[in-house]
């Protein structure tokens, strides 16, 4: 196989290493919580050299942000149902499933923990927030393009996502479909 063929091959070792590292981070957060492990421990759990993690992510905070964003994108992609109400209901249900699933609370705690980790953590947190808010904004812009009245992204965060996050973080009851739909209904 020549170099050009190798470069075009999807997945491969790089994707496998990334998946192993992401899984190791998720497991360590579930077991120990945020801030109770090192890059070396992630590398050992993933079966890779710690230099591979530093080369690819630069540090623990950037890695943690990447893990959180990748999980959100994979499990809660921005829907396009043809209406804002449908998009918001679908998105809210996806987020509720993600944050209450087996690894959901760990990833949610990770996102919260990034808020207080100094300059590098702040950069990672800001990148995560900017990326996710931009994706949410694209859903709202599509609704406006269809002629629908749409709230701003911060209003969606305040009225739909924040209440779900608080319930999960503080163990304040289940995120039933009725509860999640009620959040969207009150927003609209």
- Distance CA(161)–CA(186), nearest Å, equals 13
Looking at residue 7, what is its pLDDT? 45
pLDDT at 9 over 50: no
Poorest-pLDDT segment among 4-18, 28-42, 59-73, 88-102 = 4-18
Whether residue 62 has pLDDT greater than 60: yes
- Cα 35 to Cα 38, 41, 56, 126: the distances in Å are 8, 12, 20, 18
Cβ pair 142, 91 in contact under 8 A = no
Question: Six-digit token pair at 97?
Answer: 């499933």
* % residues pLDDT > 70 (the chain): 79
Res. 160: pLDDT tops 50: yes
The encoded tokens of residue 146 equal 């269809």
Q: What is the pTM of this model?
A: 0.70
73 phi-psi bin (left φ>0, alpha ψ -120 to 50, beta other):
alpha
Q: Greatest CA separation found in the chain? A: 58
CB–CB of 150/140 below 8 Å?
Answer: yes
Reported as a single tens digit per residue, the pLDDT across 85-125 is 999 999 999 889 888 887 777 667 776 666 655 666 667 66
Dihedral sign (CA 166, 167, 168, 172): positive
φ, ψ (nearest 5 deg) of residue 81: -90, -10
Task: Of 25-34, 54-63, 96-105, 146-155, give the range with the top mean pLDDT.
Answer: 146-155
């Amino acid at each position: 196989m020549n170099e050009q063929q190798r470069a075009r091959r999807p997945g491969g070792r790089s994707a496998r290493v990334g998946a192993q590292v992401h899984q190791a981070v998720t497991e360590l957060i579930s077991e120990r919580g945020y801030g109770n492990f090192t890059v070396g421990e992630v590398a050992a759990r993933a079966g890779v050299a710690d230099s591979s993690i530093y080369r690819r992510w630069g540090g623990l905070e950037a890695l943690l942000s990447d893990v959180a964003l990748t999980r959100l994108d994979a499990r809660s992609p921005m829907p396009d149902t043809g209406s804002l109400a449908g998009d918001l209901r679908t998105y809210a249900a996806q987020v509720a499933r993600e944050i209450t699933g087996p690894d959901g609370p760990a990833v949610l705690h990770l996102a919260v923990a990034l808020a207080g980790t100094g300059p590098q953590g702040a950069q990672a947190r800001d990148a995560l927030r900017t990326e996710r808010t931009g994706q949410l904004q694209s859903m709202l812009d599509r609704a406006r393009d269809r002629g629908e009245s749409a709230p701003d992204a911060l209003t969606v965060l305040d009225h739909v996502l924040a209440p779900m996050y608080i319930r999960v973080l503080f163990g304040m009851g289940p995120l039933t479909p009725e509860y999640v739909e009620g959040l969207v209904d009150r927003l609209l």
